[in-house]
Structure 1
Amino acid sequence: MDWGKGILITIIAFVGFMMTLVVISVRQDDIHLVAENYYEKEIKYQDQIEREKASVNLDREVLVFDSQSKSMVLDLPVGAKGNLQLFRPSDARLDQELKLDITEPGKTNVPLDQLKSGYWRVQLTWTENGVEFYQEKKINL
């Protein structure tokens, strides 16, 4: 075999390899955005900053992860309303959102034992006495 055939075989192998990578990347269907409506969320980000500042000024930790019981403990007053979003960055199909309406005094437990183990971001947005708040925890189940 001479140099010309070796170079030709190398180029053909390289093109075949690149075409294989293109086909594999086009067939992937499990690519998830961080959020479906991230442009809208970006525009409203100043409101999010205000909610985070308000929650820093609270005299209590509202969102606590109990690793023993695999649950989130919420310290919200009676009359508070909000959303608890369980966000799985690696797979958007596992995301969950729970509506909250606190009617009983004391701390509220939200069990997380039904969730798939791994990394989760728990985001709590709530309204208390007409003021909006936001807290986030990153947990591993």
Structure 2
Amino acid sequence: MDWGKGILLTIIAFVGFIMTLVVISVRQDDIHLVAENYYEKEIKYQDQIDREVSASTLDREVLVFDGQEKAMILDLPVGAKGSLQLFRPSDARLDKNLPLEITSEGKTKVPLQDLKSGYWRVQLTWTENGVDFYEEKKITL
């Protein structure tokens, strides 16, 4: 075999390798964005910072994870409204959004037994006395 054939075979092998990578990348269907509307969220990010600052000024821990019972414990006053988002970074199909409206005194327990085990980000957004708050916990079930 001479140099010409060797170079030609090398180029053909390289093109075949690149085409294989292209086909594999096109066939992937499990690519998930963190959020579908991330441009809108970026524009409203200052509001998010304000909610986090408001939550940090509270004198109580609002969002607590109980690992033994696999539950989130929320310490919110009566009349607070908001949402609890259970965010799975590795698979957006497992995400859940639970609306909240506190109607009774005491701490509220949200069971998490039906969630798939692994890493989760629990994001609580609520309104209390006309002020918006946000708190986030990273948990592993």
Q: Taking structure 1 as the reference length, what is the TM-score of the superposition? A: 0.97
Say what the alpha-carbon RMSD is for the aligned residues: 0.8
1:3, CA displacement in angstroms? 2.0
Q: Which runs of 4+ in 1 moved over 3 A?
A: none
Aligned equivalent of 1:73: 73
User: Per-residue CA shift, 1:18-70, capped at 9, x if unaligned?
Assistant: 00000111111111111011111111111111100000000000001111111
Q: Secondary structure at the match of 1:4?
A: helix
Q: Could you say which residue in structure 2 is the equivalent of 1:51?
A: 51
CA distance in 1, matches of 2:17, 2:69: 50
Residue in structure 2 matched with residue 36 of structure 1 by the alignment: 36
Q: Secondary structure at the match of 1:52?
A: helix
Separation in 2 of the partners of 1:6 and 1:118?
50
Identity over aligned residues, as a percent? 82
Gaps of 5+ in 1: none
In the alignment, residue 94 of structure 2 is paired with which amino acid? Answer: L
Aligned residues: 141
* Bigger shift: residues 13-22 or 1-10: 1-10
AA matched with 1:47? D
Distance of 1:67 and 1:6 partners within structure 2: 62
Give the whole-Å Cα distance in 2 for the aligned partners of 1:129 and 1:16: 64
Partner of 1:126: 126
- Match of 1:14? 14
Runs of at least 5 residues in structure 2 that lack an aligned partner in the other structure: none
CA distance, structure 2, for counterparts of residue 119 and residue 17 of structure 1: 35
